A = this chain, B = another copy of it.
């Protein structure tokens, strides 16, 4: 199935084992194109009825167990590792390993790693299976590799909202194996260390610094604009793994104490269109996925801030101590 290992045989085995009659399939956006293929194979080989989730799925934070609880006996969630959450229906997590040779990209990164000895190796779910091979390659190049588990994440794994696997790691530099800029940005902002990206999709390597500078300039502008805000909207997600209501209520009290207004807005998927009716609000705080305020900043007319950024707006924290927002679930608690 393209370059992804979806382990359909294991899924079929599990369905037969628990005698599931109705099976839900939930794919992240990039894997949804395989949905009907997987569904047909499961229906043909087990006789179970398959229900495909069409909702957006960006992480294990939005497993569709609640909406599917009366609909399926088993939910198969692809592409993410489980969080420490209680699910309302049995969930089988299938990591969807991406089959791609990462060594060429790491070779490209060697130049950028020249002056560093101790490397923190980091990646995301779909590449976790390449860590040993990558470490072996780098050790042959006389590097020392350090990796650790995070709070609720695997060894060397970061999520868009959880960088605990890189925190306080005694390394000279981080090597992030994967695509995109958000995760390496988070690593940099969590650790203040140099982060090199080895991108196995493009077989190229780069430093995150330029991107981080650009993002920080945007954040500074948003924070400056939000200092003028008199009315805040505080967005809370109903997605189980993003639901930080207590935090939202604390932020609301904090804003009230400054003599400003604040309103809690509870919603599933956050989008620019859905905030348009709240036209009297001057700025929004996003307690949902930390990526919304950062990655999607340009899509919104009003400033969207993370809870960390509000502290800077209200002069409770210095700009120099800027941190990325994180949601760390450990045993069901943030």
Contacts and interface: CB of A to CB of B under 8 A. Distances in A.
A311 B33 CA distance: 28
Contacts of A249: 49
Interface string A50-80: 1111111000000010111001000000000
Interface stretch (A94-102, A167-175, A257-265): A257-265
Given A66-B66, A67-B238, A263 B35 contact: yes
Nearest to A26: B266
Contacts of A56: 274
A36 interface: yes
A303 interface: no
A50 to B, nearest CB: 7
A261 B49 contact: no
A279 B33 contact: yes
Contact of A265 (B54, B67, B245, B268): B54
A267 interface: yes
A277 B231 contact: no
A35 B274 CA distance: 13
Contact of A263 (B36, B236, B245, B277): B36
A225 interface: no
B52 A263 contact: yes
A291 to B, nearest CB: 18
Main secondary structure of the interface of A (DSSP, over half): mixed
A24 interface: yes
Contacts of A39: 263
A266 B50 contact: no
The range of chain A's interface size is: 35 or more
B278 A32 contact: yes
Interface in A246-280: 249, 261, 263-270, 274-275, 277-280
A52 B229 CA distance: 19
B267 A55 contact: yes
A231 B36 contact: yes
Nearest to A279: B33
A158 to B, nearest CB: 25
Contacts of A231: 36
B54 A274 contact: yes
Interface in A11-60: 24, 29, 32-33, 35-36, 39-40, 49-56
A280 B66 contact: no
A89 interface: no
Interface of A: 24, 29, 32-33, 35-36, 39-40, 49-56, 64, 66-68, 71, 231, 235-236, 238, 245, 249, 261, 263-270, 274-275, 277-281
20 contacts: A36-B280, A36-B281, A39-B263, A40-B261, A49-B249, A49-B264, A50-B263, A50-B264, A51-B265, A53-B265, A53-B267, A54-B235, A55-B266, A55-B268, A56-B274, A66-B67, A67-B268, A71-B245, A71-B266, A268-B269
Given A36-B261, A53-B266, A68-B266, 7 more contacts: A29-B277, A35-B278, A36-B231, A36-B278, A50-B263, A51-B265, A71-B238
